[in-house]
Amino acid sequence: MNGLLQIPEHVAHEREKRTAKRSFTRCYLSLFFFLLFVEVLVVSVQILGLLFLGEDLTVELLANPYVQYGLQVLIMYILGFPFFLLLNLGMQKSVYEKKKMGVGSFIVYLLIAQFLMQAGAMISSIISETLYSIIPTGGSGESVVGGFIDEVPWWLIIAVVVVIGPIFEELMFRKVLFDRLSVYGDRLAVLISAVAFGLFHGNIEQLIYATAIGLLFGSIYAKTRNIWHTIFLHMAVNFLGTVPGLIASNSMEKIFELSELGSLLTEAEAASSVFHFIIIALISILQIGMSIAGLVLFIVFMVKKKLIPEKRCRIRLEGKTLSRCVIANAGAILLLIYCTAQIVLSLILI
């Protein structure tokens, strides 16, 4: 099947305009109610813990990384995702023929994603530091994500952050939302799903690079219509964004421990210190090299317009109808208010 029901593109008539506004509103509301559903369950767990276990034991349990990640998987994915899916059932969606992506293309896109992640993280860091300096109640600006991950067992991070998370997030944003929004244009679906993906993370640290990577993943999905491509790319990006940092952090800790011994270092300990230093250097070189290669490829692909999806849609929205569907509706406003509040709170409470 080459296109959505083989129906040619056309400007929306009055009935389709009303349907489009309902569809966009419903997509936004499904994400809003999903986030609210997750928040309510999290608060409920905390309240039940306080009632039945007491404050000390509840705080101790919720600080345990196994409990935290276990609750994340249970609440967001096992309970939350089916709820999100239910809210989107029955909506019209686009159906296009799937296309394969070769290993070479996968590596190229991974390098571009690496550049977008590093560049986005740098921009986010600058914005964060600026905001922390002007928000009186702000904290130290220390990365909550990085600080927490350093205390979690590696296998648990890989299981949840590298494997489980990407599967469900790609299904949510690049499958459920994208397929329904792309009825009104692939480019529009790429933009909205990417911004929603960035807002979904709920903090300024991840907002920019998650949105940038969302644009890339959306463009890839628009070209291939194969969700497994973006799932595997998402896994690879999360792997590169966590595991090398953990290895470097572990090596840095070893170097600090050995440096405290000073002249008491044995030959084996000195060799170990050099080994860990080499590991850190290699990781830095690898990340910088991948980012530079990604930047070059990004520029080349943008010049050749290879990252821009085709102007493909079934129903074209124009003028006021487009603005009403995309942002001037209750669903968009509620989602934006909620996510903005989460981002502001993340700045204040760090």
pLDDT in tens, 88-118: 998 888 888 899 999 999 999 999 999 999 9
pLDDT tens sequence across 210-250:
999 999 999 999 999 999 999 999 999 999 988 898 888 88
Residue-level pLDDT at 1: 40
Q: Is the pLDDT of residue 198 over 80?
A: yes
Q: pLDDT by residue (tens digit) across 267-296?
A: 787 788 888 889 999 999 999 999 999 999
Q: Which pLDDT value is given to residue 149?
A: 56
Residue type, 222: A
Cα separations (Å) of 54 from 4, 63, 246? 56, 14, 34
For residue 138, pLDDT over 50 is answered with no
- Residue 10 φ/ψ, nearest 5 degrees: -155, 160
Confidence of residue 7 (pLDDT cuts 50, 70, 90): low
pLDDT of res. 137: 52
Look up tokens 């998987």; give the residue: 73
* pLDDT value for 293: 97
The upper half-sphere exposure of residue 247, i.e. CA atoms within 13 Å in the direction of its Cβ, equals 17
What average pLDDT score do residues 78-94 get?
Answer: 92
Residue showing tokens 């102007």: 311
List b or e across 196-209, with b for residues whose CB sees 16 or more CB atoms inside 10 angstroms.
bbbbbbbbbbbbbb
Average pLDDT over residues 123-144: 68
> What DSSP string describes 234-296?
HHHHHHHHHHHHHHHHHHHHHHHHHHTTGGG--HHHHHHHHHHHHHHHHHHHHHHHHHHHHHH
In angstroms, rounded to a whole number, what is the distance separating the alpha carbons of residues 198 and 282? 30
What is the predicted pLDDT for the residue at 82?
96
Secondary structure percentages of the chain, helix, strand, coil, to 5: 80, 0, 20
The distance from CA 153 to its chain's CA centroid, rounded to whole angstroms, is: 21
Could you tell me which of 33, 30, 87, 25 has the C-alpha nearest to residue 329? 25
Residue-level pLDDT at 126: 87
Residue 311 scores a pLDDT above 80 = yes
- The type of residue at 265 is L
Q: What is the rounded CA–CA span in Å between residue 90 and residue 250?
A: 49
**Model confidence pLDDT, tens digit, residues 244-272:** 988 888 888 888 877 776 666 677 877 88
216 is written with which tokens? 């890339």
CA dihedral 241, 247, 249, 252 (to 10 degrees): -140
Query: Which is it for strands 315-316 and 10-11: parallel, antiparallel or unpaired?
Result: parallel
Tell me: pLDDT of 158 over 80. yes
* Higher per-residue confidence, 191 vs 205: 191
Q: What is the pLDDT of residue 129?
A: 79
pLDDT score for 281: 93
